[in-house]
Structure 1
Amino acid sequence: MSIPLGVDLGNNNSVIAVARNRGIDIVVNEVSNRSTPSIVGFGVKNRSIGETGKNQQNSNLKNTVENLKRILALDPASPDYDVEKRYFTSPLVVKDGQVASQVRFLGKQDEFTSTQLVAMYLSKIKETTAKETKGKITDICLAVPVWYTEQQRRAAADACRIAGLNPVRIVNEVTAAAVGYGVFKTDLPVEEPKKVAFVDIGHSTYTVSIVSIKKGELKVLGSASDKHFGGRDFDRAITEHFADEFKSKYKIDIRENLKAYSRISAAAEKLKKVLSANTSAPFNVESVMNDVDVSSSMSREELEELVEPLLQRVHVPVEQALAAAGLTAEEIDTVEIIGGCTRVPSLKERLSKVFGKPLSTTLNQDEAIAKGAAFICAMHSPTLRVRPFKFEDCNPYSVTYYWQKDAEETDHLEVFPKGGLYPATKMITLYRTKDFEVEARYTNPTELPEGTSPFIAKWKFTGVEVPAGEDSAVCKLKIRNDPSGFFTVESAYVVEEKEVEELVENPDAKEGDEPEYQKVKKLVKKNDLEISVEGYALSSKVLNEFVEKETAMIMEDKLVADTEDRKNALEEYIYELRGKLEDQYKDFASPEEKEKLTAMLAKTEDWLYDDGYDSTKGKYVAKYEELASIGNLIRGRYLAKEQERKDSLMSKQEAKKTAELAEKLAADRVARENGTEEPKVDAEGDIDMTEELD
């Protein structure tokens, strides 16, 4: 049985949750952290993903990739491409029309697309979850930003498939958190829905969603985002401030040194967190560059002054979301905040002022999205029973379908309007004389993020046959905006008009009367049309190539990890056996054996730190077994003697217990003969010393 997996794909850290019979659990990683760095590093032998990638980041900056969520399917023509370059330490390039990262891996230069990079990270997530839960991980619900377009959502689904996961749903982050709120909050109204504003300010994005919610049901009324407002923008403001200060104070320019800038940026993030709980904090970093130690300090007021341009934009997404929902701030019942950046005091103060009411923290700010996603994944599980909960999201952009004019008066139709709820299904009827094509595009390109193509997908329909005596074939298209937000054509078929007999309902008919039928003309399905699609999803060929490449890299990483484990095991065995030869094993090895084994240990140790430092798994295993062939003989003698000693000790204890019991029984017999009060001996042979009191 597959364990439902929910993942909050964060820009800085990601959170993993799983649904089980007892509820929703957060999965801890290999170092017991409840969140995992969203980072992929490339080395000479293997990849370092998550915690290991973070640990090696400073020494491997040019081959380490962060901000995965921001570059996923990012159009190189977008202004965001230039923005993201500021946050990347590895070079960004264009490959196959999308953003990729250029790194040095396995001793050669390579390029990986953003979809491949996210897939690598999800593979690590899958492995971590499988180890922690000891279960099979197949299905995933992945939470993504609300501003993701069709292209980005398709890339997210493809990344899941490359990682060997089945994306049962791609869900908006804030919607996932709202679902978790609706499922586990016990005091929701049953009739009149409650209006709740969910505010999520994370590492790179600020999103507001207005939700109508009642017991067992949720509707997203409107959403809005600021794509360039988040924790990393605060960190950059602090870093730039200290870059200027250190240039004048210490005569060093950290902007010229990638490692120095990265270290100051990491320290700036820690400073921001300290200032959320304190009014001032010191700032010290040793040997930043040119062996210069730097020190300074910052107060909360200074930080607020630095980020004032950001704080002045706090009201914008709130007003846009309220306008999309058709509500005012006064009509909002509760404001729930999530995301790490909402811990900044000045930000909370501005938000409270914009809404005109206090903020609520019912949800766990870091884990709410992942838990909601895990519940949504469980809803799709055939084996888990979950509490019934219906939820609908809303489209951030309107979508229109286009076709060539034939018998129709128009050549397009806005099928899914902006703000419309999904999942949703619509039917389109077209009159065709031959095979045809339909294309979906965003209706208003000006509403899209700058640089985004309005194209969504194109479908080709074949198999159109005009019925005899008719001018054209009546083609029915079933168009769907599915639960993941994808725009698809679910089915297409030709209908024809046929005369059929239909029962006439007669309420005055008596028992025994003959039923009456009338002939009516109805449209009935004649044949299905074949559908081929051209869209943003990867073709089967490319997908399979990426899957094979990812599988090969996973196996290579595993081999490197296993080799390192065998190397460590050999090193540990050398020190352990050498120590025991002079202690526990000294009486169980002959002088010849000691001499031979000591020489072998020294020789193996010299090899391990010289030629064998970078050897193969097989050689480490062979060296270990060579030592163990003699070491285990000595160990066997030691264990045999220990067992003999234990058996002897047990025999002595049993003999002593038998003698004590015999002595007690003898005392009992003497007491009876002398007529004194007899001690009571229980079934186990122990004397009962309780006395009866008058």
Structure 2
Amino acid sequence: MTSVVGVDFGTLKTVIAVARNRGVDVITNEVSNRATPSLVGFGPKSRYLGEAAKTQEISNLKNTVNCLKRLAGRSFNDPDIQTEQQYVTAPLVDINGQVGAEVNYLGNSEKFTATQLVAMYLSKIKQTTANELKLPVADLCLSVPAWFTDSQRRALLDAAEIAGLKVLRLMNDTTAAALGWGITKLDLPAPEEQPRRVCFIDIGHSNFTCSIVEFKKGELAVKATAWDRNFGGRDFDKALVDHLAKEFKGKYKVDINTHGRAMARTIAAAEKTKKILSANQQAPVNIESLMNDVDASAMVTRQEFEAMVEPLLARIHVPLEQALAQAKLSKEDIDVIEIVGGGSRVPVLKERIQAFFEKPLSYTMNADEAIARGCAFSCAILSPAFRVRDFTVQDIISYPIEFGWEKAPDIPDEDTSLTVFNKGGVLPSTKILTFYRKQPFDLEARYANSEELPGKTNPWIGRFSVKGVKADGKEDFMICKLKARVNIHGVLNVENGYYVEDQEVEEEVKDDDKKEDDKKDADTRKVKKQVRKGDLPIASGTSSLDASAKTALTEKESAMVMEDKLVADTEEKKNELEAYIYDLRAKLDEQYADLSSEDEKSAIRAKLESTEDWLYDEGDDATKGVYVSKMEEIRALAGPVVQRHFEKVDAERRAVQERVEAEQAAKRAAEEEARKAAEAEKAAQGGSDQEMKDADAPQTESEEAGDPK
């Protein structure tokens, strides 16, 4: 049995859902939280992933990396990444053009690419899921923002592969929410009826997406998706942080912008304050030991907070208008407006969206878990291991894609580029491109409108070299057919190539008026048809990692996982040793008090004391084997005493058992005695009955007649 997993990989935290028990459950992590912080930290002995990274974040800011998702597949010199650095506490660096982080790991300065960092985090998600399900985890469905480009999507697919995971589908966030909403509805319109139109608005920690989706029975079709990449919970937090920074500077003469830890504490306080203000009109802010031994406090009202975020609120309508325009619909055409995402809880946000649509909003889905649940449903539909009601998901292409090529010398008027996939086109989608060529040639794929892309993303997607092209003696050109596909992940490939030849073939002329009998005299005509003759090999160059690089990174990740496991096991053995020392010391005065001589006790106590001193001194950083051998030494010394205790307990247990058995035997004997007595009495009773039968009948009658009873 394999597991079916959906993962909502968020900027702030990640939610894991699994399909099981005829439904979808969100699973909890090692500290029983339903969401795991999207963080990777590095220490002198091991990595800290998820919850562990969160625990040590404030004390290890320079070695903790957050916003992992927003770094994946981006180049270091992109202005978006420079913006991202204000949210990421570890220093971001350039690694062969890609963005990465420089951290101190195992006592050395190390650089890891964003793809590696995401892989580390996905390893943790894999482990959390496997621990909960008690099953190996291989296949999953992973959510991504709809605005992710080809290179960002490929980076996530590479990261998953490095972590030993197979992504069945990279699914746009709002599409996942839509699937989760639609698959459980039993009252969707029939295929011939007007579809139900639902607007899904997802406001997460870092971005805001709006999708308009049409539902019919057993299917959904995304009609439009629009977004604001830099609008989310963290931008609301930042407005509060800027306000508090100003207030603390005036009130306490401290500048949190110069002090990383003070800034981190203020961000945590701002996030908490924002949440309190969602339910209350005002919220106190208290930060102990902010910096320079200053305890800072402030009071923020909801009104003040709304004034701070007004510049953000003024942008809400833009994606909503864009989505309606793209879908060619008006506000009145929308039947339901579903809101999801943690950032959607701010009351003024909901008010503005409701005012825009002029109708009440719907909150039937779990804001934090809807996307993970939708991903789990998608994984269940795609997985052969699971049976689920079939539900067709038709998404759309986010950016137009064009192909360019060199002009063939023999075709002077040939175009050299063509937009093959349009924005808003159906996803997944396949197109066949036809070229007339005499020798091998290359084509390049790129995004047609680079200004639509995030930041300064390079519009280049890939280069595809078509091999094996040669002109035949009879023909001037080889007719080459290339199959270009934007796949289920939203990733473009030229999947295969083949060449065809025009051949004349006999074809029956169809005439519907003819009767069946006339079929044998049917007319035929010669037509030219293209017949597939052979394959053309294609060499692809894209932003995906090549196989050897992926293998090397997979091996490195496996080694780090083993290193982390060894450190965790070592820590466990150290804790076991410490607990054993305390436990044995207490038992010497209690259970073992009468079972050991004074010499034995003093020898064991001396050993415990020396081991404890060692443990808190040079033994603080020993290996797993050393802790195990220290434990064995104490066990050997205390063995005879422990053995006596076992024997005493065993003797007591046997005595109790014997007593119970004796009581049970006595009880059985008494029951047997009682049974025999009852049988004897019954036999005696039977004899007297027989005597009464043998007496003569009239006497019996007269006795009965004169019976005084």
TM over 0.5: yes
Amino acid at match of 2:456: G
Corresponding residue SS for 1:59: helix
Q: Which residue of 2 aligns with 1:85?
A: 85
What's the CA shift for 1:501?
Answer: 4.8
Distance of 2:364 and 2:47 partners within structure 1? 38
Q: Which residue of 1 aligns with 2:158?
A: 158
1:480 maps to which of 477, 485, 509:
485
Q: Which residue of 1 aligns with 2:22?
A: 22
Say whether 1:183 aligns with 2:183.
yes
Distance of 2:355 and 2:338 partners within structure 1? 14
Q: Which residue of 2 aligns with 1:469?
A: 474
Corresponding residue SS for 1:587: helix
Tell me which moved more, 656-665 or 448-457: 656-665
Q: Which residue of 2 aligns with 1:100?
A: 100
Q: Which residue of 2 aligns with 1:430?
A: 435
Q: Which runs of 5+ in 2 are unaligned?
A: 686-709
Distance of 1:674 and 1:468 partners within structure 2? 120
What's the CA shift for 1:545?
Answer: 1.8
What's the CA shift for 1:77?
Answer: 3.5
What's the CA shift for 1:503?
Answer: 5.9
2:456 maps to which of 448, 451, 468:
451
Corresponding residue SS for 2:599: helix
Tell me which moved more, 396-405 or 645-654: 645-654
Amino acid at match of 1:318: L
CA 1:581–1:671: 2 relative to 1, 3 Å: same
Distance of 1:670 and 1:508 partners within structure 2? 103
What's the CA shift for 1:397?
Answer: 1.2
Within 5 A, what are the aligned runs for 1:664-683?
none
Identity %: 51
Corresponding residue SS for 1:388: coil
Any conservation in 2 of the 1:428–1:478 contact (CA below 8 Å)? yes
Within 5 A, what are the aligned runs for 1:386-405?
386-405=388-407
CA 1:354–1:662: 2 relative to 1, 3 Å: same
Distance of 1:276 and 1:612 partners within structure 2? 50
Q: Which residue of 1 aligns with 2:692?
A: none
Within 5 A, what are the aligned runs for 1:620-639?
620-639=627-646
Tell me the TM-score normalized by structure 2: 0.92
Any conservation in 2 of the 1:467–1:496 contact (CA below 8 Å)? no
What's the CA shift for 1:338?
Answer: 0.3
Within 5 A, what are the aligned runs for 1:268-417?
268-406=270-408, 407=411, 409-417=414-422
- Max radius of gyration: which structure? 2
Amino acid at match of 2:439: K
1:522 maps to which of 519, 524, 529:
529
Q: Which residue of 2 aligns with 1:689?
A: none
Within 5 A, what are the aligned runs for 1:567-586?
567-586=574-593
Q: Which residue of 2 aligns with 1:43?
A: 43
Tell me which moved more, 34-43 or 235-244: 235-244
Distance of 1:622 and 1:661 partners within structure 2? 53
Distance of 1:159 and 1:185 partners within structure 2? 35
**Number of matched pairs:** 676
What's the CA shift for 1:468?
Answer: 2.8
Distance of 1:633 and 1:325 partners within structure 2? 82
Q: Which residue of 2 aligns with 1:555?
A: 562
Any conservation in 2 of the 1:98–1:113 contact (CA below 8 Å)? yes
Q: Which residue of 2 aligns with 1:683?
A: none
Distance of 1:273 and 1:285 partners within structure 2? 16
What's the CA shift for 1:369?
Answer: 0.5
Q: What are the Cα deviations for residues 246-267 of structure 1, in whole angstroms up to 9, with x where unaligned?
A: 1111111111111011101101
Tell me which moved more, 393-402 or 125-134: 393-402
Q: What are the Cα deviations for residues 493-548 of structure 1, in whole angstroms up to 9, with x where unaligned?
A: 01112344556778556499699876544221111011111111111122122112
Q: What are the Cα deviations for residues 388-439 of structure 1, in whole angstroms up to 9, with x where unaligned?
A: 0101111121111112222373222211111111111111111011001111
Q: What are the Cα deviations for residues 558-607 of structure 1, in whole angstroms up to 9, with x where unaligned?
A: 11111111111111111111111111122333443323222221121111
Say whether 1:565 aligns with 2:567.
no
Distance of 1:204 and 1:632 partners within structure 2? 60
Distance of 2:507 and 2:210 partners within structure 1? 54
Tell me which moved more, 652-661 or 417-426: 652-661
Q: Which residue of 1 aligns with 2:221?
A: 219
Corresponding residue SS for 1:60: helix
Distance of 2:674 and 2:502 partners within structure 1? 111
Within 5 A, what are the aligned runs for 1:601-640?
601-640=608-647
Any conservation in 1 of the 2:219–2:391 contact (CA below 8 Å)? yes
Q: Which residue of 2 aligns with 1:34?
A: 34
Amino acid at match of 1:227: R
Q: Which residue of 2 aligns with 1:62?
A: 62
Within 5 A, what are the aligned runs for 1:646-665?
646-659=653-666
Distance of 1:513 and 1:597 partners within structure 2? 106
Corresponding residue SS for 2:58: coil
What's the CA shift for 1:49?
Answer: 0.8
CA 1:253–1:633: 2 relative to 1, 3 Å: same
Q: Which runs of 5+ in 1 are unaligned?
A: 679-694
Tell me the TM-score normalized by structure 1: 0.93
1:495 maps to which of 491, 495, 500:
500
